[in-house]
Chain A
Amino acid sequence: MEGLAPDLWPPIRLTIELATTTTIVLLIVGTPIAWWLARSQAWWKEAVATVVAMPIVLPPTVLGFYLLVALGPEGLGGALSGLTGRRTLAFTFEGLVIGSVIYSMPFVVQPIRNAFEAMGSRPLEVAATLRASPLRAFWTVVVPLARPGFLTAAVLGFAHTVGEFGVVLMIGGSVPGQTKVLSIAIYDYVETMQWREASLLSGGMALFAFVVLLAMALIEKRVARVGV
């Protein structure tokens, strides 16, 4: 009986790191976008919403291709990475974060936007008439009232990043400790006929997906029962 490959853990740790970073960045970037989409009267806001939603339908390879060009030495990423003395953001952890943020954006923006829209403008008006500055109103009224939306967004953003493969393959390659996340690791194990490792990781991923989706359903059920 051969032992497990010693490099089983690094991909898991890397995946969790990537998904956590991506989720945090997404909540910070996605919330203002969701706010604007929920509140703006601009006629072109649905065009912006569509751009945000496009990763849902685009093949990951298309997204990955554009990202590769953008992050590479000739693109914006190359210019940015020059600051840190590197030639490119492609095939780096930072590059993966940027790619994941764009790839998982719709799954974070949509639930938050829905929560903002369901809330309407009344709570904000009430807060304003009670002398709450817009910033205070946001933290003390909007965030708590939209909490289920934020929770859904965070869980979906995390889970979706864990589950990404195509984009990572295109812009990350398989650099151990840098870009070799779980999905890539499984692919590599299968390529090299290491079925045990592949099935172990695959089973873990399947279990993770089940738990996440079940938890989501339960959260939503509870929110619906309690009411807002």
Chain B
Amino acid sequence: MGFRGTLGRFRLDARFETPARGVTALFGPSGCGKTTVLRSMAGLQRFADGMCRVNGETWQDGALFRPPHTRPIGYVFQEASLFAHLSVRGNLRFGARGSARSGAGLAFDEVVDLLGLAPLLDRAPRHLSGGERQRVAIGRALLSHPRLLLMDEPLSALDRSSRDEILPFLERLTARLALPVIYVTHDMTEVERLAETLVAMRDGRVQSVGPLRQLQSDPALPFALARDAAVTLDAVVESYDAEYGLATLVEGGLRLVVPCSALPLGQRQRLRIAAADVSLARVPPQGSTILNILPAEILSITPAGEQAMLVVLQPSLNGPTLLARITRLSWKRLDLVPGDQLQALIKSVALAPR
């Protein structure tokens, strides 16, 4: 899809393609045009020079413009924007009424169950907390049986605790639905927990598009060089050691041991490994407390700011690349160069609570 034009003094020229599955994050600082792109996709805004094609279906191109109510989308606004004159049930039903049964065909009860809405059904929107309201808004959008779910910073108007309350719902949702989602956010934490594809925007332009992990570990992009750089993994639970509370998770050839509460075997779980939590050693350390030590090869080394170097690593057992953020001094002392075989010491692996 692509949209080009001006809104007041703001110029937008965004053009990108994204897979019609999983979660695509539209990421960028506020005012970069990501919400405008999302609104244009929904047809809430119209750029004369716009093109939007979804799954081979053209929604906008040249003179063709399908009005928003004919597009099979679900839209979650930044503020829940529930209808004040309807109860929670009425709001949910409003979504279910106007739509043909196609796309992600979730039944009313399923959505209520998935989002934990049962105790709220007969309440009025003004008696709900911010987090509850947003959950209802998400349910309402889902019940309109969309074939594409558009979410505009659904968490940014919420306080921290409501955000932590909703994120697991979103994770469960995106994991369970075969529904493509475009998710607008300026918060990298949300991207790392939810997205598979990343579209990075700045000043009305698309800077880079690709699988999240690929962009995260590309030293030519700002993500990898940032202080909080990290890679995300989508690993499957292989075993769980109840005695020590340790789960073994696998992705590709990579096997990681992570302390956590019990997880069902075979469950897919998103992991985050911060670059700052990975150290390097020439020889395998003896008697270390670190659980995850992996042989790996250096792919590249890039300066990241004044004091740090960013090392991109390919674990020898195959699997996703890792990042290590080390000091310039260590880099000098160990005399690291691309191609070196060494040991990656992973001090901690973050696992999103469910």
Contacts and interface: CB of A to CB of B under 8 A. Distances in A.
A228 B82 CA distance: 11
Interface stretch (B15-23, B91-99, B221-229): B91-99
Q: Which of under 10, 10 to 19, 20 to 34, or 35 or more describes the interface residues of A?
A: 20 to 34
Interface in A134-181: 134, 136-137, 140-141, 144-145, 147
Interface string B59-71: 0000000011110
A129 B85 contact: no
Nearest to A129: B75
Given A130-B99, A131-B144, A140 B73 contact: no
Interface in A96-144: 122-123, 125-134, 136-137, 140-141, 144
A128 B126 contact: no
A116 to B, nearest CB: 15
Contacts of A133: 69, 98
A58 B284 CA distance: 95
B44 interface: yes
B69 A131 contact: yes
Contact of A122 (B73, B81, B150): B81
A227 B81 contact: no
A129 B84 contact: no
A133 B140 CA distance: 17
Contact of A129 (B73, B79, B83, B126): B73
B131 interface: no
B77 interface: yes
B231 interface: no
Contacts of A132: 69, 94, 98
A140 B94 CA distance: 9
Most buried by B among A126, A129, A133, A144: A129
B298 interface: no
Interface string B137-156: 00011001000001000000
Given A122-B77, A129-B74, A134 B69 contact: yes
Contacts, number: 65
A21 B190 CA distance: 58
Given A130-B144, A131-B144, A125 B68 contact: yes
A10 to B, nearest CB: 42
Contacts of A227: 84, 126
B85 A130 contact: no
B180 to A, nearest CB: 16
Contacts of B84: 145, 227-228
B322 interface: no
B69 A126 contact: no
Contacts of A123: 81, 83
A126 B77 contact: yes
A136 B77 contact: no
Contacts of B94: 127, 130, 132, 140
Nearest to B98: A131
A161 B171 CA distance: 60
Given A123-B81, A123-B83, A141-B83, A129 B141 contact: yes
Contacts of B150: 129
Contact of B98 (A122, A125, A136, A144): A136
B313 to A, nearest CB: 44
Interface in B314-347: none
Contacts of B83: 123, 126, 141, 145
A184 to B, nearest CB: 42
B85 A128 contact: no
Contacts of A126: 75, 77, 81, 83
A129 B140 CA distance: 10
A80 B340 CA distance: 96
Contacts of A130: 69, 94-95, 98-99, 140-141, 144
Contacts of B75: 125-126, 129
Contacts of B72: 131
Interface string B79-112: 1010111000000001100110000000000000
16 contacts: A122-B79, A128-B67, A128-B69, A129-B42, A129-B69, A129-B75, A129-B144, A130-B95, A130-B140, A131-B69, A131-B144, A134-B69, A145-B83, A145-B84, A147-B85, A228-B84
4 tightest CB-CB pairs across the interface, nearest first? Answer: A129-B75, A131-B98, A128-B68, A144-B85
Given A127-B94, A131-B98, A145-B85, 13 more contacts: A122-B79, A125-B81, A126-B75, A126-B81, A129-B74, A130-B69, A130-B99, A130-B141, A131-B99, A132-B69, A132-B94, A145-B83, A227-B126
Interface of A: 122-123, 125-134, 136-137, 140-141, 144-145, 147, 227-228
